[in-house]
A and B are shown apart, each in its own frame.
Chain A
Amino acid sequence: MKRLKEIWEYREMIISLVQRELRGRYKGSALGFLWTFINPLLQLLVYTLVFSVIMRSGIEKYYIFLFVALVPWLFLNSALIGGANCVTLSKDMVKKIYFPRDVLPIAFTTASFVNMLLTFLVVFAVLLVTGYGLNPVALLYLIPLMAVEYLLVLGITFLTSALSVYFIDLRYIFTILAMAWQFLTPVMYSQDMVEGALKNHPNLMTIWNLNPATPMINAYRQILYYKQIPDLTTLTSALVLGIIVFLIGWFTFGRMQRGFAEEF
């Protein structure tokens, strides 16, 4: 409780760090902030080209199928790639001044989250412009879903950023881990394909479903690609897994942050 209160007292620092992160990202480039929108658009273009012209998959409108899952995935990915460094990069501050260390992963995750929200503007625009359409009722479910994803990503960032202070090599391992995780999550393929393949292995299927990213990505896809209200089971398992990961991250970080200043 005390920790939460202190983080709240330092909200101004979080806000200014988020602003710095967002503004600093494309600083010096000619198009500046516009890159936030151009980048995903170009990505989408590449996917469309590859998957509807060269590598035709059996899934209809594969580029949309992929895109609506890839955007939330990239947010999750940021916890492993950039998030792992968020404490180490601020070591001068950590070494020299006091502030609740939680501020750093929170600011990083929030900046990535805002970035995802902005990318979602592109997603919506694409869905409308291509005539694919949106289901307004299902869209309402995006709000709690994003909140849960924020919690999950924050939890992972807490973990990765704290651990990589002590074990520098971990950041390279995280890069590999991020790739492996992406392939083990139904981002590029559908959950049905896995269920089909693991039909005779219920135990493996249970393990598969323990991946906290799986229900999350499935729910995004249900809302945006299938234009349906997501299943209750998918939503609850996303929530439960998200909270568990968050708590693990929260307490690990709380314990490990005491030694940060001495480690640098």
Chain B
Amino acid sequence: MKPENAIEVKDLYKMFKVYQDKGTQLKERLLFWRRNRYEKRQVLEGVSFEIKKGETVGLIGYNGCGKSTTLKLLSKIIYPDSGNIALTGRISCLIELGAGFHPDMSGRENIYINAAIFGLGRKEIERRMPDIIAFSELEPFIDNPVRTYSSGMYMRLAFSVAINVDADILLIDEILAVGDAAFQEKCFARLKEIHESGATILIVSHSREQIEDFCDRCIWIDQGKIRMEGETAKVTEAYMGQALAKISGKKETSAKGEAGDLQAITEDAFEKIPEDREALLARIESGTAAYFAQPQLDACHIELELDEKQINRDKLKTDGFAFPVTIHNLGTELLTSRRRYPIFLSYRIEDAFGNMLIDGRRTDLNGFIGEGESETLEFRIDPTNVCAEGKEYQLTISLVAERLFWFDQAGQNMVKVAL
């Protein structure tokens, strides 16, 4: 292993057995000793990479491409069929937080057990205990059993332990959605601190923002192989381009479908060179280029028409809760017409404490709604099963554009209704 490297992975192969018939597995095991029906699925096919000490690297790829498997292999939860993995230093895995928590034990005892699972000794745990508790902001509840915690508190406790063990290598899998926005901010700040202190971090994330914000380098895994490796911006751009081509259903026509051949046209390119618009459009049509841009939802707004705020309960039972929603100025020409980004209306009903009772989406939006134009959708929701009579609820309607990595919301409209 090279001294400057923290992680070295060479020719990793991993196959999983996917059992076709789990139900009869027990019986089959008894009857046909070694003849189980399963399909072999090659998850990793010769993955090799090196990560230097102090680097922060992002792993991207579609679901099922082998990112999480790579992380699990690195953390030694599972073993490769062949290939070598070398890591130096203490590893902290933020893969599944809170595994090993015991619900009947207090927060403090669980910190103890959890830190022990990370391989810390008694003295070390005691030394870190105040930091961990302070970070979790759970001081008043720390001696209560963990089963009394809310799921947010639970995750905060778990995250606080994992992030305070002074690891040399941090493996992170999609866990940055911890707690409220303020706590998330704190986690990011702490991760940055850890990064600056020279730790090596490997992140799997679907959030392009997180990856671009954090990572010096990016590795794109596609169907068990490394497709591209390098500077974060370049890799994510190529990835998005390919992802878009996949969504639009067009084959990558040019030379053997290499990633670099597909031109990813950004919004900037579109705006800056208006004279090329036609040419670019033609390329998008033919599938040699993919357009990705922010759907322009800013100009649009939605209108919610509820004539009576007090709704007749009997009428609710027979007709449901019906109201029209009108969308104005959905100026996302390219996107909606080509259906690259699905756009839909989301609705939800919450009680006074913010608990979500009903939610759903309407995808039957009628394509392009130009400037000054509008479209009306009729909504019909049946709240009688979940909403108590006469109580006040909040109805939220918003227009959502599904991006590759996240959702964009616009024109949110909230109304209080008594059902």
Contact = CB atoms under 8 A, between A and B. Distances in A.
Interface of A: 9-13, 15-17, 20, 24, 27, 90, 92-99, 167-169, 258-259, 261-262
B358 to A, nearest CB: 32
B105 A20 contact: yes
Contacts of A10: 116, 119
A16 B93 CA distance: 20
Nearest to A24: B104
B117 A99 contact: yes
A98 B74 CA distance: 10
Interface string B347-368: 0000000000000000000000
A-side interface mostly: helix
A150 B26 CA distance: 33
20 contacts: A11-B121, A12-B120, A12-B125, A13-B119, A15-B122, A16-B112, A16-B116, A27-B104, A92-B99, A93-B100, A95-B96, A96-B77, A96-B99, A97-B93, A97-B95, A97-B117, A98-B77, A98-B93, A169-B26, A261-B78
B116 A13 contact: yes
Contacts of A92: 99-100
Interface of B: 16-17, 26, 29-30, 72, 75-79, 91, 93, 95-96, 99-100, 102, 104-105, 112-113, 116-117, 119-122, 125
Nearest to B78: A261
Contacts of A11: 121
Nearest to A27: B104
A16 B113 contact: yes
Contacts of A20: 102, 105, 113
Contacts of B79: 258-259
8 smallest beta-carbon distances between A and B, as pairs: A96-B96, A96-B99, A13-B116, A12-B116, A93-B100, A258-B79, A98-B76, A16-B113
Contacts of B99: 92-93, 95-97
Contacts of B96: 95-97
A93 B26 CA distance: 23
Contacts of A96: 77, 95-96, 99-100
B119 A262 contact: no
A93 B122 CA distance: 20
A163 to B, nearest CB: 13
Contacts of A17: 113
Given A96-B95, A96-B99, 12 more contacts: A10-B116, A12-B116, A13-B116, A92-B100, A93-B117, A97-B95, A97-B100, A97-B117, A98-B76, A98-B93, A168-B26, A259-B79
Nearest to B100: A93
Given A16-B113, A167-B29, A97 B119 contact: no
A259 B17 CA distance: 12
A258 B16 CA distance: 14
B249 to A, nearest CB: 35
Contacts of B78: 261-262
A107 to B, nearest CB: 11
Contacts of B16: 262
Contacts of A98: 75-77, 91, 93
A261 B26 CA distance: 18
Nearest to B99: A96
Contacts of B17: 262
Contacts of A12: 116, 120-122, 125
B82 to A, nearest CB: 13
Nearest to A99: B117
A261 B72 contact: yes
Contacts of B125: 12
Contacts of B100: 90, 92-93, 96-97
Contacts of A95: 77, 96, 99
A261 B51 CA distance: 26
Contacts of A259: 79
A11 B30 CA distance: 38
A53 B389 CA distance: 71
Contacts of B105: 20
Contact of B113 (A9, A13, A27, A258): A13
A168 B30 CA distance: 10
A13 B117 contact: yes
Nearest to A169: B30
A98 B87 CA distance: 14
A9 B91 CA distance: 14
Contacts of A90: 100
Contacts of A15: 116, 122
Contacts of A13: 113, 116-117, 119
A10 B72 CA distance: 20
